[in-house]
Structure 1
Amino acid sequence: MAEVLTGIAVATESLTLCIKAIVVLKRFYVTVKEAREDLNKILNLVGRTRNRIELMKMTLIELRKSTDPGIAAGFITACDGLNRTLEDLVQEASTIANGQSRFGIARRLRWSMSHSKVEELVRKLAEQEKEVTNSYMMLNSLTSLRTQQELQKLTRSSDERSEITVAFCQESEERFSDVSTLRNSSEEPATRVRTWLGHTITDHHSPEYLQMRDKLSEAVYWGDWEVVFNKFEEGFQTFGELWGNAPRMKERSQYHNLSMWTPLHQAVYHHAPVHVVERLLEYGAFKTLRTRSSEFSFPNLTPLELAHEMEVFHLYDILSPVVKRPLPPDTLQRIEYNFHRLIRSEVGLRVDAEKLYLPVLEALTELDGETVWFPIKFGYPGAGYLFQLLGRELQVKSVNIQGKASEVLYRVMEDDIYETDQIFNYAGDLKQEKDMIVEEDTAEAWPFKLDV
């Protein structure tokens, strides 16, 4: 039993070092193509190693009462060497990352000075990852805790979740290169990219756009949900926008009268049935957006608060926000401040002149890392910002803001804004829904989920 507990402690230490390495490596910025390829390989390897250790740790927890001698010896030995390699990799990666380019500061990374040393560390790490994997397979074979088929499914799922993806690649190439691709989309509403409707006054919009938005607002105001959902579809097919959070727009002279009531707020006001709210959520409605004015106790109400004010009991559960990206409130606030600072640095005084409603990042905590599109209606055609919240950073792509056909990537964190040429993510970070390997007759054997 003591050996198993030691194995659990060693696994915990290894997981901590893996996390440190990932955090440092993901802050690593370099424009040299060869270095990007190396970074891809390293992140994939460290992620896969972390997953393997997590699997081993969970197995040891299940065997924590075992008294078999030597049951975890091979794993402990493998982790000893692994931890030393990870410590060296963290130290080297920290040195490299300290030379990264920062927003407003042009500093080149001297990758060639550390390349050979990192290559040797990666070679060692690859060998040690194999040793950990072999220890895991052997332990399960000796204890008959998992069948060979179950082990293959778990390791395959683990490998898939540690694959590296490039942020915004699909959205840029397939969705936002031409708005017509959005108009012709036959996707279900819940799978479409959400739109942040930051333009609240009627300037810079076509008569067709304003007429359609006005008809939507009238239908929402009167609770005519069939018309509302028809207008949602028309808006998407015609303009490539999801209007699930659309407030009533105002002329510039009436800006001070903006109430910012969304369709979700109006659904509460009309005591709409649950299935209507479910459809609004499919069209991208956020549960945490607040009004600017109301006739109730407070001017700034979320839909759930409004439901409590009006005692719309049947909507309490469905309107309760489900936080999928938990961040400390002060961290989220600082990231939001830096994101707004980034937008103001690129758009300039027009942010205030055009009365833009800048993104509220609390809404993104409801998402599983999905991308949101914030169109900017003045300036170059197709201008706007793609952004997604992953971990404790906001990944942003500025599109056609600085010039026609311009694209700039940023990683917005609580301490600063980092400009980069590519952003790597683990495939598993892009969805919170974990792939459980559960057979009908073995459900009791799987008390855990895989995390990346």
Structure 2
Amino acid sequence: MTSYFDIVDGARPWQSVLDPSVMSDDLVRAGHQLADAAKVGDWPTVMSVLDNQSKWLVINQWRPGGTAWFTALHQAAWHGAPVDVARDLLDRGALRSLRDAKGRTAYDVAVEHASSPGLQRLLSPPRSRSSSRQIEALDARLAELIDGRIAGRLFEGDLRTVLRYPPVEILHELPGQRVWFPLPGKYGFHIELQNGSLEVKSWCGLVEGSGQTHLVTPDGSVLVDQGFV
């Protein structure tokens, strides 16, 4: 069964679309089912939805159209869920370093709500080898590259109203330090952290020879290959 969120080259997918009007009805419906169950702390239903709607859902997504960017792991922290629940979400790929719209990780939310010490320890994000300044610079350079590749091709106007780009911070926690960023129109970005810089491969599956590889550093990006795919 083909999924919009298929894994590419071993990289976990990132759910980027903010505007539900450009999502499929099935994705929106499944996303609301997951968010509704997590909001009330109904963990058996959360796991059931994740199991049964895997074609449409990724573990780190938030409510379609939602502005809080609360994932199931954030909700587990909010509710002070049993450690076993949080561990199950982490085993499914939930990210401790992913932040909500206020910049809070699940650990931050757990601390705010005085969750159990065991839950707080489990949700503590891994340390990054890069400084916060380096990560911020990479985020900015990556956004510039993505903007340049898709602006005017997929959406009109401000791309930030319809897309959330994958934050570099989460790459330190992902297997292989890589993420797959699929977009409508068969556009995609394969992003991998390499010694403090990013290798970014991008292409459009509908355009032959559209592939490009860029090396992204805190200072900018350089095209190092093109014409593939």
Q: TM > 0.5 between the two?
A: yes
Residue by residue over 1:231-258, the C-alpha shift from the partner in whole angstroms, topping out at 9 and shown as x without a partner, is 223343x24x5x22111112xxxxxx61
For the Cα contact (< 8 Å) 1:369–1:390, is it kept in 2?
Answer: no
**Cα distance in 1, alignment partners of residues 145 and 74 from structure 2:** 30
For the Cα contact (< 8 Å) 2:5–2:13, is it kept in 1?
Answer: no
Structure 1 regions of 5+ residues with no counterpart?
1-177, 186-191, 251-256, 293-298, 423-452
- State yes or no: 1:375 paired with 2:182: yes
What does 1:203-282 align with in structure 2 at a 5 Å threshold? 203-236=21-54, 238-239=55-56, 243-250=58-65, 258-282=67-91
Q: CA deviation at 1:179?
A: 4.3
Bigger Rg, structure 1 or 2: 1
- Taking a change above 3 Å as real, the CA distance of residues 264 and 180 of structure 1, as seen in their structure-2 partners, is closer
- The match for 1:318 is 122
Opposite residue 407 of structure 1, the aligned amino acid is: G
Which residue of the other structure, out of 168, 183, 193, is the alignment partner of 1:361? Answer: 168
Opposite residue 395 of structure 1, the aligned amino acid is: E
Corresponding pairs, count: 220
Opposite residue 124 of structure 2, the aligned amino acid is: S
Which residue of the other structure, out of 198, 204, 219, is the alignment partner of 1:415? Answer: 219
Indicate the percent of aligned positions where both proteins have the same amino acid: 27
- Taking a change above 3 Å as real, the CA distance of residues 355 and 205 of structure 1, as seen in their structure-2 partners, is closer
- Taking a change above 3 Å as real, the CA distance of residues 245 and 181 of structure 1, as seen in their structure-2 partners, is closer
Which of the pair has the greater relative contact order for Cα pairs under 8 Å at 6+ separation? Answer: 2
| Cα root mean square deviation, aligned | 2.8
Q: CA deviation at 1:387?
A: 0.9
What does 1:162-177 align with in structure 2 at a 5 Å threshold? none
Residue by residue over 1:244-282, the C-alpha shift from the partner in whole angstroms, topping out at 9 and shown as x without a partner, is 2111112xxxxxx61111111100122111121112112
Residue by residue over 1:266-310, the C-alpha shift from the partner in whole angstroms, topping out at 9 and shown as x without a partner, is 001221111211121122222122222xxxxxx432211111111
- The match for 1:194 is 12
Residue by residue over 1:115-156, the C-alpha shift from the partner in whole angstroms, topping out at 9 and shown as x without a partner, is xxxxxxxxxxxxxxxxxxxxxxxxxxxxxxxxxxxxxxxxxx
Structure 2 regions of 5+ residues with no counterpart?
none
**Cα distance in 1, alignment partners of residues 103 and 220 from structure 2:** 29
Q: CA deviation at 1:194?
A: 2.0
- Name the one with the larger helix percent: 1
Which residue of the other structure, out of 88, 93, 107, is the alignment partner of 1:304? Answer: 107
**Cα distance in 1, alignment partners of residues 86 and 202 from structure 2:** 32
For the Cα contact (< 8 Å) 2:38–2:75, is it kept in 1?
Answer: yes
- Name the one with the larger strand percent: 2
Q: CA deviation at 1:402?
A: 8.4
**Cα distance in 1, alignment partners of residues 196 and 20 from structure 2:** 35
For the Cα contact (< 8 Å) 2:11–2:175, is it kept in 1?
Answer: no
1:244 counterpart SS class: coil
**Cα distance in 2, alignment partners of residues 316 and 248 from structure 1:** 24
- Taking a change above 3 Å as real, the CA distance of residues 370 and 229 of structure 1, as seen in their structure-2 partners, is farther
**Cα distance in 2, alignment partners of residues 337 and 180 from structure 1:** 29
Which residue of the other structure, out of 191, 198, 219, is the alignment partner of 1:394? Answer: 198
Residue by residue over 1:348-381, the C-alpha shift from the partner in whole angstroms, topping out at 9 and shown as x without a partner, is 153724521112111112235332111212xx2x
- Taking a change above 3 Å as real, the CA distance of residues 218 and 180 of structure 1, as seen in their structure-2 partners, is closer
For the Cα contact (< 8 Å) 1:244–1:281, is it kept in 2?
Answer: no
Residue by residue over 1:25-56, the C-alpha shift from the partner in whole angstroms, topping out at 9 and shown as x without a partner, is xxxxxxxxxxxxxxxxxxxxxxxxxxxxxxxx
Q: CA deviation at 1:411?
A: 1.4
**Cα distance in 1, alignment partners of residues 207 and 40 from structure 2:** 42
Opposite residue 308 of structure 1, the aligned amino acid is: V
- Taking a change above 3 Å as real, the CA distance of residues 214 and 181 of structure 1, as seen in their structure-2 partners, is closer
In the superposition, the TM-score normalised over structure 2's length comes to 0.84
- Taking a change above 3 Å as real, the CA distance of residues 404 and 218 of structure 1, as seen in their structure-2 partners, is farther
Residue by residue over 1:307-345, the C-alpha shift from the partner in whole angstroms, topping out at 9 and shown as x without a partner, is 11111022111111112x511222222121111000010
**Cα distance in 1, alignment partners of residues 50 and 173 from structure 2:** 21
**Cα distance in 1, alignment partners of residues 47 and 132 from structure 2:** 34
Opposite residue 267 of structure 1, the aligned amino acid is: A
- The match for 1:287 is 96
